[in-house]
Structure 1
Amino acid sequence: MAGVQPFLHDLLVTLQAPSQVWCARDGQVHPHGAQGVYHADVRVLSTAVVRVNDLLPEEISAGRSGPAELEAVGVLRMIDGPGADPTAMLRRRRVLRPGEVSEELELSCGTDDPVSGRVTLRLASDLARMDDVKQGAATSPLPPQAVPEGVRWTDGTAVVDVSAPGASVEVDDDGATLTWDVTVTPGEVVTLRWGVRTQVPAVVSAPASAEPEWSVPVVAADDKRLAPLVRRSLEDLAGLRMSADFAPGETFVAAGAPWFFTLFGRDSLWAARMLLPLGTDLARGTLRTLAARQGTVSDVETAEQPGKMLHEVRSAELEVDDGTVLPPLYYGTVDATSLWVCLLHDAWRWGLAASDVEELLPTLERALAWMRDHGDNDGDGFLDYADASGHGLSNQGWKDSGDSIQWHDGRLAEGPIALSEVQAYAYEAAVGGAELLDAFGRSGGDEWRSWAAELKTRFRERFWLSDDAGPYVAIALDRHGNPVDSVASNMGHLLGTGLLDPDEEKVVAGRLVAPDMSSGYGLRTLSARSKGYWPLRYHGGTVWTHDTAIAMHGMARAGLGAEAAVLARGLLEAAQHMDYQLPELYGGNAVGDGPGPLPYPAACHPQAWSAASAVALLAAVLGLSPSDDGGLDVAPIAPSPVGSLRFEGVRVGSRTFTVSLDPAGRAQVEEM
């Protein structure tokens, strides 16, 4: 349906950045919705449907068979022998590599006699851009060219080459049909092969290194949900690894598939930050990549400012159906700059080499200066945002949908808007930045500590509200300086940053785990008591995995283990309903309201910061933090919300540790 964003929740995905395949539950790529083979934000195949004797195989099993691999099994009753048992079968094995998809079609039978049939593969390509697919725009297939042993599509820029040894090829204006005539003998397998190679110019591509930039831990726990969640999450993150042409050799993780399969400042920073207990190499690559495009000038069209970190990178201008038009390099984010500083500080604490830190200190100083000189549009002493171009994002925090910042009665807040969590990031960046400046003998540390202290005072004076359930932190200040009175998840990002004192942190944590905010599957973005709440509203009632993980980790850092355990158990409860792949977001319905959390139908999966949340969960349960002497400190939640736990592969610099936890929350640390 044109103009309607296609759903993803019932599709299977195979990915290895910057390529991905989205297919139906039968393994087929049908010509509708978001299904397709993609490379670098272009749909290179919009159809890849196998038939036998003009009929579709009847799917009995389909799913991932390994990282970047899928297998679908269908029975072939159209060529089967007599009897009720299905005795002819097709296995479709798909393997994805950057820029390349290969498939094997394996036919076998358990009949008394050989069976014969005609296998066809119908292919089409529309070379549609991802943003057109996301908006449900109408697309048309392009005419292909027959080439030796295959077929080709090109628009003069992208080139799509399909090879199919042994197949006859017929082309028409709408696509190509590959045909094999086969006879299958009982006890033997007939294997047909085809593949597609793609060339699409892009800003982002596969990383230089084939191996992930983090250690792969060994995790065992009494709670049997934890280990598969960690394993699946790290496999998904490995498939999201990318490199940018302006920072060759550096690796970051793309925000998510399929819609955000590129560099996003905020998302990539949070994912790298959550993965720090597994090493600092991803953090270094992310920091360097963003530093390479740090803002240098003021530009209203791109929202660039000196010292500012970018929001996202695309290969072409991005048009959104609400009139938003974003340039290929867009800086419309109020929080990525502070988060960049926070990541540099935390990576240094986790053992990032001094030479790597020192190289980035000029970038750090410019980022800090942006907070002071450009981050406050209305001069009230808080970082805020307002789109000056008229066609950029109206909301520029992590809740960036148009209706995300609203009052308790459902009215939308007017900008410039100063988000509560952005002040926490800025506070943490100023304090951490000052520590780095001192440690490396550079000036400015005292200035930034004073700046942070003043921000903390102003925040306490302006952001606190109270309702019939007690005090809480407003989601934001509006253009008039009024605190927007929604009870929302944003205040969870304040925990553990130092912006609040311990009593205030306890109050905030208590509000977040109350029934109106905690669904039992995680943290709702908006209180169920708000007029604008709806369990499937993007930022107005759904649960976002990373949002829950950030609040959970902050609670653990603040010593609020009981509250952190509530959210940890919620994520594990949700994970088991989702094949241990926690998506970008899901419904805010409560445990018991249905068989599980409602899927948010258009949610990305995998999503970088959602997958990285599994490591944040481990870090929170164990209370992991680097010690001042380069070792590892632990302050576990007691009692443990996952029972006994063993985590092998925690890294601090060049040192590796194993942490063991008993059900009571007593921990032991061994250096390997």
Structure 2
Amino acid sequence: MSPRDGQIRDGAEGFYAADSRLISRLVLSVNGQEPESVDAQLSHAREARFLAVHRDGDDRNPDPTVTVERVRTAGRDCERITLSNHGRHRVQLALRLETACDLSDMSEVRSGRPREALPATANERGVSWTSPRQGAVTLSGTPAPDRVKADRDSAALVWDVELAPAQKWTLALVLDAASRAASKPPVVAAPPPGPKPWSSPRVTCTDSRLARLLDRSLDDLAAMMLADPQDHADRFLAAGAPWYLTLFGRDSLWAARMMLPLGTELAAGTLRTLARRQGAVHDAATEEQPGKIMHELRREASDTLPPLYYGTIDATPLFVTLLAEAWRWGMPENEVAALLPAAERALAWLHDYADADGDGFVEYARLRENGLVNQGWKDSEDGVQSTAARLAEPPIALAEVQGYAYEAARAGAELLAAFGRPGADYWREWAEKLAGRFRSAFWVEDDLGPYVAIALDGGKRPVDAVASNMGHLLGTGILDRAECRLVAQRLAHADMDSGWGLRTMSANAQGFNPLGYHTGSVWAHDTAIAVAGLAATGHDQAAASLLDGLLDAASGFDYRLPELHAGEERRPRARPAPYPASCRPQAWAAAAGVSLLTSLLGLQPDLPAGRVRLRPLAASPVGALEVSGIRLGSSSVTVSVDGCGHGEIAGLPQETRVEK
């Protein structure tokens, strides 16, 4: 992590591995001056190129004659520095790298409390840092430095370089870690060599935004792919870089669900990885409960949370729904069957533990004193509040979680019936009772009409903020047609549609903050989920507006959508403002590009039933398009949509019919 000049100075900047910061400072200078930054580009997700120029005081040429190129790679061979002399005279250059190491944990860096720099020790090829408790790190160069100075908290490596006209000189830096982070068995391992667990779709469209977003997103997702150390064949997506580069229940499940049109292998690996860590006992310290799907997995405990933490209310129903969705997209039946016991345990958790006070809703209240206060996807302390900015008191029943639970119960019933297991009728009835209770308790009204409150608080009162959570209900089945129309109208209103995506909370709310983490910002995945629900329920205009806005936002971020961006009102010739500490890339933000593509195509398969629904978005903001490489089971299909919104599929599996 570094700014665009490539220098690593302070804050969260640094070289990281396995949630530890190996290098906390790396500042380059030439003849005592920092080069003048010219450009910075991502070659791909694992490599960045920084270009700068060096000007000597006696250089009378207005053009820069010495260039400094840094090519930085995520790996042991961490950086290649090239000095080039484009002038007509020989130059003498002293390249200096000032460096430091603190071996801070990622959570310490994020909280603004990094450790002190370790004492440095010089060696013939570079410098090393050693801590009896934390391990060792070595930074070396080829060629070896001419001089090394090491002291209490920093070190300097110097190379004396003489360049003739048109001559280049290259330095290769290597970073070796024998730190505690590197030596301990990793929580997650790097993926083994081999093909990615998804196809590479080819998109032909007059609007280039969609193809560019997909190209960048799939490259980023490949770089965030991790493997389960218990079975390296099972791969999943880390939640996001830099803060969440590990397994997260909710994030990894949503990202895998969005990626289903490109194959079911990622979903299968994600489900098996989570099933191995499914809750089995009662433990208030970790908030584990039998059948519960975990929230976060780390190498070691942070200041507040244990390494394996279960404080999430939504990952468990999302697990069941992803399994059912993957089955409909063509996941092999033997793989589905092997995961059914885990799905049954997840459903049992819904029955036994998800409703702590017996009011009939799925709700949370933290079991651990310093656990997460809010345990839905809006998990910041102020993420659930009223229109008057009053924070909700637990236990809290989130609106979207009731939709997730309804969808999981229906999907679970479908799986149980199809695979000859008992319980399908019970879960269908359970879902319908939940829908009735939801209809009675969650609907509120303001000057613009009825809408769904964000939550019920501990007193069973609606928390009446107008929030994006209601968009997650569309497509779950918990709303009827008239209710879907009311939600669509509210999401399309100017207080929610920023022009660059869906705001997390209405701009009319007292607590609205366009740069609030969950109180007015725009999250790419949140917008994509709303777009999918709007498209699935026939609200094409509202879906198209949000989709078009998110594509425009992507163009403002070089098509690498951040975790979230500011929810300011869109202005002509402006671009969205970044959120300061946003993950970029982030798995469900990158996977949102695939979700938008699916919404445009209107593709909803049910291969076990032998049918595929094709209903392209009639108000498509990208016009006609053709997409090849969509995966339906073992078949690769091509979907084309003309300018009038009429779609066709080529290459369908045998005995599969198209419904339009």
TM range (shorter): over 0.9
Partner of 2:523: 544
Cα distance in 1 for partners of 2:2, 2:610 equals: 47
Match of 2:294 among 297, 306, 310: 310
Equivalent residue for 1:390, pick from 369, 372, 376: 369
- 2:172 is the counterpart of 1:193: yes
State how far apart, in whole Å, the 1-side matches of 2:510 and 2:79 are.
50
Aligned twin of 1:481: 460
The structural deviation recorded for 1:559 is 1.8
Letter in 2 for 1:165: T
Question: CA–CA distance in 2 between the matches of 1:364 and 1:288?
Answer: 11
Counterpart code for 2:202:
V
Distance 1:352 1:448 in 2: 23
- Pick the aligned partner of 1:611 from 584, 590, 606: 590
1:145 Cα deviation from its structure 2 partner: 2.9
Tell me the secondary structure at the aligned position of residue 454 of structure 1: helix
2:77 paired with 1:104: no
Q: 207, 214, 227: which one pairs with 1:230? A: 214
Question: Which deviates the most, 246-255 or 385-394?
Answer: 246-255
Are 1:348 and 2:324 an aligned pair?
Answer: no
Counterpart residue number, 1:34: 12
Q: How far is the alpha carbon of 1:555 from its aligned partner? A: 0.9
Question: Map of 1:559-570 to 2, 5 A cutoff?
Answer: 559-570=538-549
User: What are the superposed Cα offsets for residues 507-558 of structure 1, whole Å, 9 maximum, x if unpaired?
Assistant: 1011001001110111111111111111111111111111111011011111
| Partners of 2:225 and 2:235 within 8 A in 1 | yes
Partners of 1:166 and 1:569 in 2: CA distance: 51
Equivalent-residue separation in structure 2 for 1:129 and 1:80 (angstroms) = 45
Q: Is the 8 Å Cα contact of residues 642 and 663 (structure 1) preserved in structure 2? A: no
Q: Match for residue 263 of structure 2?
A: 279
Q: Which residue of 2 aligns with 1:160?
A: 137
Structure-to-structure mapping, 1:568-583, within 5 angstroms: 568-583=547-562
Which residue number corresponds to residue 375 of structure 1? Answer: 354
| Structure 2 residue 67 is matched with structure 1 residue 83 | no
Q: Give the TM-score normalised by structure 1.
A: 0.93
1:635 to 2:615 alignment: yes
Answer yes or no: is the 8 Å Cα contact 2:189–2:232 preserved in 1: no
* Contact in 2 for aligned 1:640/1:662 (Cα 8 Å): no
Quick check: 1:114–1:184 contact (8 Å CA) kept in 2? Answer: yes
Determine if contact 1:80/1:88 at 8 Å carries over to the other structure. no
Tell me the amino acid that sits aligned with residue 295 of structure 1. G
| SS, match of residue 400 in structure 2 | helix
Q: Deviations over 1:580-608 (max 9, x none)?
A: 11111111111118822221111111111
1:138 positional shift? 4.7
- In structure 2, the residue corresponding to 1:164 is in which secondary structure? strand
8 Å CA contact 1:549–1:616 kept in 2: the answer is: yes
Structural mapping, 1:262-661, within 5 Å: 262-319=246-303, 325-592=304-571, 595-628=574-607, 632-661=612-641
The answer to whether the Cα contact below 8 Å between 1:489 and 1:525 also exists between their aligned partners in 2 is yes
What are the within-5 Å matches in structure 2 for residues 236-275 of structure 1? 236-275=220-259
| Aligned partners of 1:254 and 1:264 also within 8 Å | yes
Counterparts of 1:650 and 1:631, CA distance in 2? 15
Partner residue of 2:98 out of 122, 127, 152: 122
Please state if 1:665 is matched with 2:649: no
Letter in 2 for 1:44: L
CA contact (8 A) 1:80 1:115 kept: no
Q: Which residue of 2 aligns with 1:7?
A: none
| 1:247 shift after superposition | 4.5
TM-score (ref. length: structure 2): 0.95
How far apart, CA to CA, are the structure 2 residues paired with 1:430 and 1:51? Answer: 61
> What is the alpha-carbon distance in structure 1 between the residues aligned to residue 7 and residue 122 of structure 2?
23
* Secondary structure of 1:651 counterpart: strand
Q: Does 1:204 align with 2:188?
A: yes
Correspondence for 2:657: none
Closer/same/farther in 2, CA of residues 80 and 658 from structure 1, 3 Å limit: farther
Work out the CA distance in 2 between the residues paired with 1:79 and 1:68: 36
CA distance in 2: counterparts of 1:277 and 1:631, whole angstroms: 15
- For 1:46, the aligned partner's letter is S
Note if contact 2:124-2:144 (Cα within 8 Å) is conserved in structure 1.
no
Q: Give the 3-state SS of the residue equivalent to 2:99 in structure 1.
A: strand
C-alpha contact (below 8 Å) 2:264/2:331 kept by paired residues:
yes
CA distance in 1, matches of 2:399, 2:208: 36
Correspondent of 1:180 among 146, 154, 159: 159
* Distance in structure 2 (CA, Å) of the matches to 1:349 and 1:586: 33
Q: 1:267 to 1:80 in 2, by over 3 A?
A: farther
Q: Give the partner amino acid of 1:600.
A: Y
**Worse overlay, 307-316 or 163-172:** 163-172
Moved more, 433-442 or 178-187: 178-187
> What's the offset of the Cα at 1:342?
0.6
Bigger Cα displacement from structure 2, 426-435 vs 657-666 = 657-666
Letter in 1 for 2:636: T
CA contact (8 A) 1:236 1:606 kept: yes
- Aligned to 1:576, what secondary structure does the other structure show? helix
Q: Residues 243, 280 of structure 1: CA spacing in aligned structure 2 closer, same or farther, 3 A cutoff?
A: same
- Specify the SS of the correspondent of 1:318: coil
Q: Distance in 1 between matches of 2:568 and 2:152?
A: 47
Aligned-residue offset at 1:245: 3.0
Partner of 1:3: none
Deviation digits for residues 57-116 of structure 1 (CA, Å, limit 9, x no counterpart): 11111121223111111111128743211111111111223xx24221111122112212
Are the equivalent residues in 2 in contact too, given 1:80–1:86 (CA < 8 A)?
A: no
| Gapped regions of structure 2 (runs ≥ 5) | 653-660
Report the secondary structure of 1:588's partner residue: coil
**How far apart, in 2, do the equivalents of 1:347 and 1:155 lie?**
47
CA distance in 1, matches of 2:606, 2:275: 27
Q: Distance in 2 between matches of 1:146 and 1:245?
A: 36
Q: Summarize deviations over 1:143-193 as a string: whole Å, max 9, x none.
A: 133344232223344432222122233322223222211111222321111
Q: CA deviation at 1:119?
A: 1.0
* Letter aligned with residue 666 of structure 1: H
Match of 1:54 in 2: 32
Quote the offset at 1:494 in angstroms: 0.3
Whole-Å Cα distance in 1 between the matches of residues 235 and 632 of structure 2? 20
Corresponding letter in the other structure for 1:77: R
Higher alpha-carbon deviation: 59-68 or 356-365: 59-68
Q: What's the CA shift for 1:640?
A: 2.1
CA RMSD of aligned residues (A): 1.6
Cα distance, 1:257 vs. partner? 1.0
CA distance in structure 2 between the aligned counterparts of 1:501 and 1:80, rounded to whole angstroms: 76
Matched residue type, 2:489: G
Alpha-carbon distance between aligned partners in 1 of 2:152 and 2:317, rounded to the nearest angstrom? 52
Identify which of 100, 113, 117 aligns with 1:137. Answer: 113
Measured in 2, the distance between the counterparts of 1:95 and 1:303 equals 38
CA contact (8 A) 1:79 1:115 kept: no
On the 8 A contact 1:167/1:179 being kept in 2, the answer is no
Q: Does structure 1 retain, via aligned residues, the 8 Å contact 2:119–2:130?
A: no
